[in-house]
């Protein structure tokens, strides 16, 4: 890894776990005999839909915000997000008793907008194809003298997301099994960077892979070229939580070193995974949170005779879309 690029350590993630422990939920690692039979292996699914705000994003948001000191904390925080980071930041700020402002794309699912507002946030909508979300957030922060809390390219965010991987490693060890491969949902790369860092320390023989929508495969292309590649568009997939334009400047160097590769899945693959999660696993999983399961169900990663873990990274799906998916 380039030593000039700031990074996180396994101890940073363990410290984050201690920091967020009073509020974050230790989510279950679920195993299904039906899924094991289908794949011929042992599959362990980290159900982050049970986390506060319905996704893993609360972990990083709280780890970042709880470290703000007066008087900076009192001026509040600003974030830009399609929904899950927005909710995590809004709720973390609510717990800290400070104001939050969220710049959200105007095509964000209504359930995510409602929930974010419900956590007390001031929402500013924008057009993701025409407006730069980072510039808008910086403008809002300057107006409010607030602190910007980015969705993934922040060391404390990465460390907080890594607590998900720490739990996976601990839960697997408690079951007496070693994880051969771990699939991680990938948007900007914060979850993958955090998980890959701690798993490299806790379970060094585990292969790590990112999974993303097929038309937004910036990670796969970046790993192939060795440099950050961009997506041409910011919309066009039901996986709204994973539509970052590119991997992060901080997250990519970590993932470039740690990940064995990346898979991409189609929206149809994702729909099938969402249906499977509901019908077989009895779980509600949003499209962006189902991409790793989709990679397993489509056989992109061979599970036969192996122990494979995967993140189900969120459960915030619009009722209308969810109904359309499971009834089709």
Q: What is the pLDDT of residues 311-321, one digit of tens each?
A: 999 999 999 99
User: What is the Cα–Cα distance from 121 to 165, expressed in whole angstroms?
Assistant: 29
> What one-character-per-residue DSSP string does 74-113 give?
GG-EEEE-SSHHHHHHHHHHHHHT--EEEEEETTS-HHHH
User: What is the Cα–Cα distance from 88 to 56, expressed in whole angstroms?
Assistant: 8
pLDDT of the residue at 94: 98
The percent of residues in the chain predicted with pLDDT above 90, rounded, is: 90
Quick one: DSSP state of residue 242? G
Q: Which of 92, 119, 148 is the last residue of a domain?
A: 148
Mean pLDDT of 210-228: 97
Least confident range from 76-80, 131-135, 251-255: namely: 131-135
Residue 119's H or E segment, with its range, is: none
Residue 139 sits in the same domain as residue 241 = no
Question: Alpha carbon of 173 to those of 62, 179, 203, 206, 258: distances in Å?
Answer: 26, 9, 9, 13, 21
Residue 63 sits in the same domain as residue 35 = no
Residue 125 lies in a domain: yes
Three-point CA angle 144, 159, 145, nearest 5° = 10
pLDDT of the residue at 201: 97
Residue 232 sits in the same domain as residue 270 = yes
Across the chain, what does the average pLDDT equal? 95
Read off the pLDDT band of 23 (50, 70, 90).
very high
Mean pLDDT of 197-215: 97
32-42 per-position pLDDT tens digit: 999 999 999 99
Least confident range from 118-132, 146-160, 244-258, 261-275: namely: 118-132
Is the pLDDT assigned to residue 234 strictly greater than 90?
no
pLDDT of the residue at 132: 86
pLDDT of the residue at 2: 62
DSSP lists the bridge partners of residue 40 as none
**3-class secondary-structure state, position 135:** helix
The percent of residues in the chain predicted with pLDDT above 70, rounded, is: 99
Least confident range from 113-117, 220-224, 274-278: namely: 113-117
Least confident range from 34-48, 55-69, 130-144, 268-282: namely: 130-144
Residue 274 lies in a domain: yes
Residue 4 lies in a domain: no
Residue 211 sits in the same domain as residue 274 = yes
Residue 32 lies in a domain: yes
Residues 6+ positions from 232 with CB-CB distance below 8 Å: none
pLDDT of the residue at 3: 62
User: What is the Cα–Cα distance from 175 to 232, expressed in whole angstroms?
Assistant: 43
Is the pLDDT assigned to residue 4 strictly greater than 80?
no
Mean pLDDT of 302-310: 97
What is the pTM assigned to this prediction?
Answer: 0.96
Q: What domain count does the chain have?
A: 2
Residue 121's CATH number = 3.40.50.1100
Mean pLDDT of 118-126: 95
Residue 250 sits in the same domain as residue 199 = yes
Residue 231 sits in the same domain as residue 96 = no
pLDDT of the residue at 227: 97
Residue 207's H or E segment, with its range, is: strand 207-213
Q: Which of 107, 125, 148 is the last residue of a domain?
A: 148
Residue 286 lies in a domain: yes
Angle of helix 84-96 versus helix 110-118 axis, rounded to 10: 10
Is the pLDDT assigned to residue 82 strictly greater than 80?
no
Q: Which of 126, 148, 170 is the last residue of a domain?
A: 148
Residue 102 sits in the same domain as residue 169 = no
Residue 180 sits in the same domain as residue 248 = yes
Do 80 and 136 touch, CB atoms closer than 8 A? yes
Residue 2 lies in a domain: no
Residue 192 sits in the same domain as residue 208 = yes
User: What is the Cα–Cα distance from 194 to 220, expressed in whole angstroms?
Assistant: 18
Q: Which domain holds residue 78?
A: 58-148
User: What is the Cα–Cα distance from 49 to 298, expressed in whole angstroms?
Assistant: 22
Do 144 and 103 touch, CB atoms closer than 8 A? no
Residue 51 sits in the same domain as residue 165 = yes
Residue 283 sits in the same domain as residue 221 = yes
Do 75 and 145 touch, CB atoms closer than 8 A? yes
Is the pLDDT assigned to residue 293 strictly greater than 70?
yes
pLDDT of the residue at 112: 84
CB atoms within 10 A of CB 3: 7
H helix intervals, the chain: 10-20, 33-39, 57-65, 84-96, 110-118, 133-144, 155-174, 190-202, 218-225, 251-258, 267-276, 291-297, 319-327
Residue 34 sits in the same domain as residue 80 = no
Read off the pLDDT band of 1 (50, 70, 90).
low
């Amino acid at each position: 890894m380039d030593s000039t690029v700031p990074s996180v350590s396994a101890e940073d993630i363990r410290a984050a776990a201690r920091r967020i422990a009073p509020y974050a939920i230790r989510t279950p690692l679920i195993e299904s005999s039906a899924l094991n039979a289908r794949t011929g292996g042992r599959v362990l699914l980290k159900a982050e839909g049970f986390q506060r705000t319905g996704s893993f994003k609360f972990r990083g948001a709280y780890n970042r915000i709880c470290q703000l000191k007066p008087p900076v904390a009192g001026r509040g925080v600003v974030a830009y997000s399609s929904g899950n980071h927005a909710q995590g930041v809004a709720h973390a700020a609510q717990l800290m008793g400070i104001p939050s402002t969220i710049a959200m794309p105007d095509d964000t699912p209504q359930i995510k907008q409602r929930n974010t507002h419900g956590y007390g946030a001031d929402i500013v909508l924008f057009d993701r194809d025409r407006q730069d979300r980072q510039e808008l957030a910086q403008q809002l922060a300057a107006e409010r003298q607030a602190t910007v809390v980015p969705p993934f390219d922040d060391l404390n965010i990465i460390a907080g997301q890594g607590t998900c991987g720490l739990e996976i490693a601990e839960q697997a060890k408690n079951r007496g099994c070693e994880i051969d491969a771990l699939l991680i949902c990938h948007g900007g790369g914060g979850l993958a960077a955090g998980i890959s860092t701690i798993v490299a320390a806790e379970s060094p023989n585990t292969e790590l892979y990112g999974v993303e929508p097929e038309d937004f495969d910036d990670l796969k292309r970046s790993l192939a070229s060795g440099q950050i590649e961009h997506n041409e568009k910011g919309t066009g997939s039901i996986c709204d939580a994973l539509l970052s334009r590119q991997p992060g400047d901080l997250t990519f160097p970590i993932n470039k070193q740690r990940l064995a590769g990346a898979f991409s899945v189609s929206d149809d693959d994702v729909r099938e995974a969402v249906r499977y999660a509901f019908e077989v696993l009895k779980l509600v999983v949003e499209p962006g949170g189902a991409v790793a399961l989709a990679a397993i169900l489509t056989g992109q990663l061979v599970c036969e005779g192996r122990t494979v873990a995967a993140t189900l990274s969120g459960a915030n799906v619009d009722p209308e879309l969810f109904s359309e998916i499971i009834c089709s």
